Amino acid sequence: MHALAIERDSGDAAGSTAANLRDSDRTSPWPARHAAPVSSAADPLAEGAVEAVPRGEGSPMADGHGDLLAAVEALAERGDEPCRAFLAHALEHPSWVDTARLEEGQRLGLALAVPTGAVLLLGGLVEVYGVAPIADALGSTRRLHDQTWRRILETGRLVRDVHLRGAMAPGADGLRAIVRVRLLHAMIRVRLAHRGHDVITQEQMAFTLCAHSHVVRRCLSRLGIRLTAREARAHQHLWRLIGHAMGVRPEFLPDSPEQETRLYRRLRLELCTGAAGAGRVLTARTIETVARRSRLPRALVSTLVHHLVGAQLADRLAVRRTTSYAALLSVGSALLGGANRMRRASSRLDALCMRGGRGFANVVLETDPGRGDPIAAAAARGALAMLSDARRRGLDPCTAR
- pLDDT of residue 46 exceeding 70, the answer is yes
pLDDT tier at 153, thresholds 50, 70, 90 = confident
pLDDT at 180 over 50: yes
More confident residue, 186 or 36: 186
- As to burial, measured by CB atoms within 10 angstroms (0-12 exposed, 13-18 middle, 19+ buried), residue 333 is middle
% residues pLDDT > 70 (the chain): 76
Cα 83 to Cα 123: distance, rounded to the nearest angstrom:
36
Look at residues 400, 401, 363, 391 and name the one whose alpha carbon lies nearest to residue 379.
363
DSSP string, 7-33: ----HHHHHHHHHHHH---TTSSSPPP
30 compared with 290, residue with greater pLDDT: 290
Residue-wise pLDDT for 237-294, tens only, equals 999 999 999 999 999 999 999 999 999 999 999 998 877 888 999 999 999 999 998 8
Instruction: Quick: pLDDT tens for 5-23.
Output: 434 333 344 444 444 433 3
Considering only residues 9 and 227, tell me which one the structure prediction assigns the higher pLDDT.
227
The domain limits of the chain are 11-309, 346-401
Most confident of 116-120, 152-156, 377-381: 116-120
The radius of gyration of the chain's CA atoms, rounded to the nearest angstrom, is 21
Asked whether 115 and 252 are in contact (CB, 8 A), the reply is no
Query: Percentage of the chain surpassing pLDDT 90?
Result: 61
Query: Which of 145, 176, 207, 154 has its CA nearest to residue 14?
Result: 154
Question: How far is residue 385's CA from residue 347's CA, in Å, rounded to a whole number?
Answer: 22
- Whether 27 shows a pLDDT value over 80: the answer reads no
Q: What's the rounded mean pLDDT across residues 56-79?
A: 78
Least confident of 188-197, 214-223, 228-237, 280-289: 188-197
Give the chain's mean pLDDT.
82
Stretch 213-227: mean pLDDT: 98
- Cβ 45 vs Cβ 202: under 8 Å: no
Please give the pLDDT value at position 188: 83
pLDDT above 90 (res 301): yes
Alpha helices in 323-372 (DSSP H): 323-345, 347-365
The phi-psi region of residue 56 (left if phi > 0; otherwise alpha if psi is between -120 and 50; otherwise beta) is: beta
Q: Phi and psi of 65, rounded to 5°?
A: -105, 170
- How far apart (Å, rounded) are the C-alpha atoms in residues 331 and 131? 32
Distance CA 216, CA 212 (A): 6
User: In this predicted structure, what is the pLDDT of residue 183?
Assistant: 94
**In whole angstroms, what is the distance from residue 82 CA to residue 34 CA?**
24
Note the pLDDT of residue 160: 92
Lowest-pLDDT choice from 201-205, 213-217, 264-268, 392-396 = 392-396
Q: Over the stretch 93-105, which tens digit does the pLDDT of each residue have?
A: 999 999 999 999 9
Q: What is the mean pLDDT of residues 191-203?
A: 78
Predicted pLDDT of residue 192: 76
Confidence of residue 201 (pLDDT cuts 50, 70, 90): confident
For residues 102 and 144, the model is more confident at 102
**Helix/strand/coil for 166:** coil
Residue 40 pLDDT > 70: no
